[in-house]
Amino acid sequence: MRVLVLVAAVFSLCAGPALAQDAARERQLDLAGRYLQLTQGTDATKIMRGYLDEAYGEMDLPDDQRTWLADQFSTIFEEALSIAIGEVRAEVADTFTAAELEAAVGFYETPMGRSIARKNLEAGMALQQAMMPYVLESVTSLSEKFCLRFDCTELGEAAAKSRH
């Protein structure tokens, strides 16, 4: 009986710190998720929808087709963003201290913080949009150089198979 009491006492002494660590980790993960939602998720879909509406507005498509495409891409973007936030939450929790996350979340929950987060998203999307023609041109050039240097027959066949 004494052995059982001793084992229970040792177990309770070991379990206490482990439970505290689990609670601290959960708090850190929750803060990281909140930080990501405030800085990346809250307005990103609205901003992306604005860019899509603008881009599709320049295309020679009927209104119903433009709206459908914008709706579909907005849904894809929102779902991908949600998944990505979930996937990087632990990495963000490991990158920042709890104090840093608390301070950041506290700031981004203020009107000024929300304004700065929204403007950061807008600036980031504008930068990506400005980079896109150069990236596409560079990737096309790189692909051409690759195929000049290496045999691209197998890559072409694999790409054709993946389309079927």
Whether pLDDT at 100 is above 90 = yes
| Residue 119 lies inside a defined structural domain of this protein | yes
CA distance to 42, 151, 164, per residue, from 139 (Å): 32, 17, 24
pLDDT at position 101, please?
A: 97
Burial of 158 (0-12, 13-18, 19+ CB in 10 A): exposed
What DSSP string describes 122-164?
HHHHHHHHHHHHHHHHHHHHHHHHHHHHS--HHHHHHHHHHT-
| Residue 29 lies inside a defined structural domain of this protein | yes
Considering its fold, how many domains does the chain have in total? 1
Confidence of residue 150 (pLDDT cuts 50, 70, 90): confident
| Residue 30: both structure tokens together | 């929750």
136 vs 129: CA distance, rounded Å: 11
| Residue 14 lies inside a defined structural domain of this protein | no
Whether pLDDT at 1 is above 60 = no
Q: What pLDDT, in 10s, does the model give residues 50-81?
A: 888 888 888 888 989 888 988 998 899 899 99
Whether pLDDT at 99 is above 60 = yes
Q: For 25-39, 50-64, 86-100, 149-163, which range has the lowest pLDDT when averaged over its residues?
A: 149-163
pLDDT at position 35, please?
A: 95
Please say whether the beta carbons of 37 and 113 come within 8 A. no
Better pLDDT: 45 or 76:
76
| Residue 6 lies inside a defined structural domain of this protein | no
Whether pLDDT at 143 is above 90 = no
Burial of 78 (0-12, 13-18, 19+ CB in 10 A): middle
Measured at the alpha carbon of residue 76, what is the angle toward residues 88 and 62, in degrees to the nearest 5? 155
**Across 136-161, average pLDDT:** 82
Structural domain that includes position 123? 24-162
| Residue 36 lies inside a defined structural domain of this protein | yes
| Residue 106 lies inside a defined structural domain of this protein | yes
Q: By C-alpha distance, which of 42, 37, 48 is closest to 73?
A: 48
| Residue 37 lies inside a defined structural domain of this protein | yes
Whether pLDDT at 147 is above 70 = yes
| Residue 10 lies inside a defined structural domain of this protein | no
Counting every residue written for the chain, the total comes to 164
